[in-house]
Amino acid sequence: MSKKEGDTFITGEEGYRKPRGILQALAAIQHYYVAERNGEPISQDFLTILGKFDFFSAGFKTGLIGGLINLLLIPISIGVIDDYIPIFGNRHPGLFDKGFALFLSISFYLGYSLLLATARKYYIGEITRNAFKNLLRGVTAGALFKMVIAFIFFHFMYLFGLEEGFLTKALYKLYPIVKYDTLNAIYQWLLGMRPIFLTSAYFIVCATLIYISIPWISVLLAARKTRRLMDLEDKWR
């Protein structure tokens, strides 16, 4: 194992690399875990301030960019559940169709939270714990930042974007290019989307809190398990 000032990513013979995504960050944490588990000497100052920021940045991008996709999926899924938006060509979807739409809207949250939770077994060793906690802090910050943006955007659509007067003025500009009956149908449909955006605003808050809670709870449980194992090892020495 070699050292190089400012680098933060152990990769064996390949040298050092900055973790640019969630998978690279978890791979780096796994390398740290193996090194510390095998008793290889690693300086406590190995993970520099820049290195900690690298893990935070990788987590932040994961929490933010992935959440932006859900800005589109969540209102659609809420509309399907409310029998307002058809799915699979069915205007009155059944329980399975509604469940599938709901699953699509939270698939990102479930996938990444479970991925982070499964990495809890590497939560051993000073360097590994520092890297993992900074990664989770970044994910949490990115997810909360995205949640605030979505909450404001959905409320904006409910209060202003789909308000009756605003819709009337906006759609009237399309007349006579678009027929009145068509414009009226669009107006009625968009007006019906108002409560869906309001529900979506609070739904994304709940989904985000669950998303960031699962990995943090798993880390706390892993930390307790590690302390118990260390106490047992000290007891039998």
pLDDT of the residue at 90: 80
In whole angstroms, what is the distance from residue 233 CA to residue 91 CA? 62
- Position 15 confidence tier, pLDDT thresholds 50, 70, 90: very low
Q: Where are the domains of the chain?
A: 12-146+213-236
pLDDT in tens, 103-162: 988 888 888 888 888 888 888 888 888 999 999 999 999 999 999 999 999 999 999 999
**pLDDT at res. 233:** 61
For residue 194, give every residue at least 6 positions away whose Cβ sits within 8 Å of its Cβ, in sequence order, or none: 157, 158, 162, 163
**Shortest CA distance to 133 belongs to which of 143, 144, 122?**
122
pLDDT tens profile 24-65: 999 999 988 888 888 776 666 778 889 899 999 999 998 888
pTM of the model: 0.84
- pLDDT digit string, tens, across residues 154-201: 999 999 999 999 999 999 999 889 999 999 999 999 999 999 999 999
